[in-house]
Amino acid sequence: MTTLLYLIGSIISSTIIVLVFKAYERFDIDNFQAIVINYLTCVVVGSLLIGDFPVEAGFTQKAWFPVALILGLMFISTFYAVALTVQKFGVAVAVVLQKMAIIISVVFAIWMYDESITTLKIIGIILALVAVILTNIPAKSEERKLQTWGLLALFVPAYVFFVSGAIESLLLYTERSLLAGEGSIRFTIFLFGTAAVIGLAFLIFNVIRGKNKIGGKHILAGIVLGVPNFFSIYFLLLVLGQGIDGSTIFPINNISIIVLAAALAWMIFKEKLSLINVGGVIVAVFSIILMAISA
């Protein structure tokens, strides 16, 4: 029951994140500024949970310290790319791209920890690749808008896909090989803190150059994003710490997020997809089901 509650918490938190990004577009929120505030919020939320200052003496000697630094950089860059993908391609497409990264994390789990591999799981991975291609084909109404992106229209979604997979793989490695069920919350706080420091440095530089102007609505937007963002990672680490195969957890987690986010985007934002995009989402869901039941 505990594992199920952690999993539900991760699914709900991750779904809220992409819906918040969609709302950013409607309320003209500065993505980068809000994302930086979001990571500062994550640090505050984590600190309140442990009731203590999260940085302990000798933390740089922790085995997870280098991984936290790398993940912090990956987090802030990927979050910005996800925000752009949500706003230019739509919620469902962005979620599918991000969650199809299980192709990478499942392969990593099988290779690194000798987890099971079956014919159904292989078929699921192949179908997932097809889904990524289908969901990237823009509707005709979006083609003109995407032309202004040039190569970014290809690079940004691809970056979301590959780096999201790398993040999941590193989280699995950290929980299984470095944390061993201990210290998840301090590790989570530190990686968010790393992302906050990196983002804050860029934000201050841009403010000095006059490229950004701090605004109250952007700060509020960052706070709203930060709470579910912290729990999406913290709950996922707790689930992985229960000893269940990563190649099982990632598919179940990701398919739930895809279905829930697509349904809520349709109900709340009246988001439309082309038939090809819908086909991509269906293939994506089917592929993840195959991988889940084959585990």
Give, in order, the Cα–Cα distances in Å from 50 to each of 54, 86, 189. Answer: 8, 33, 10
Q: Where do we find the tokens 């201990």?
A: 182
The token duo for 241 is 């710490």
Give, in order, the Cα–Cα distances in Å from 287 to each of 111, 142, 281. Answer: 20, 26, 10
- What does the alpha-carbon distance between residue 243 and residue 96 come to, in Å, rounded to a whole number? 26
Q: What is the maximum span of the chain, computed from C-alpha positions, in angstroms?
A: 56
- What does the alpha-carbon distance between residue 194 and residue 68 come to, in Å, rounded to a whole number? 7
- Quickly list H helices, the chain: 2-26, 31-50, 65-89, 91-99, 102-113, 119-136, 140-147, 152-173, 184-208, 216-240, 246-268, 275-294
- What does the alpha-carbon distance between residue 130 and residue 174 come to, in Å, rounded to a whole number? 30
Nearest residue to 54 (alpha-carbon basis) of 234, 228, 240: 234
Cα atoms found within 13 Å of the Cα of residue 176, Cβ hemisphere only: 17
Residue pLDDT tens, the chain, 295 long: 788 899 999 999 999 998 998 888 889 898 889 999 999 999 999 999 888 776 666 677 888 888 888 998 898 888 788 777 777 777 666 767 777 777 888 889 888 888 877 888 788 878 877 876 776 666 555 554 545 555 555 677 788 888 888 998 999 899 888 886 555 788 888 889 999 999 999 899 988 988 778 889 999 999 999 999 999 999 998 888 887 778 778 888 887 887 788 788 878 887 777 788 788 878 878 877 887 777 6
pLDDT for the residue numbered 200: 92
Cα atoms found within 13 Å of the Cα of residue 285, Cβ hemisphere only: 15
Burial class (CB in 10 A: 0-12, 13-18, 19+), 161: buried
The domain of 290 spans 2-294
Q: Write down the pTM of the prediction.
A: 0.81
Q: Where do we find the tokens 């590790």?
A: 187
How many structural domains are present in the chain?
1
pLDDT for the residue numbered 20: 92
CA dihedral 60, 64, 69, 70 (to 10 degrees): 150
pLDDT for the residue numbered 224: 96
The token duo for 295 is 């585990």
The token duo for 19 is 């819906």
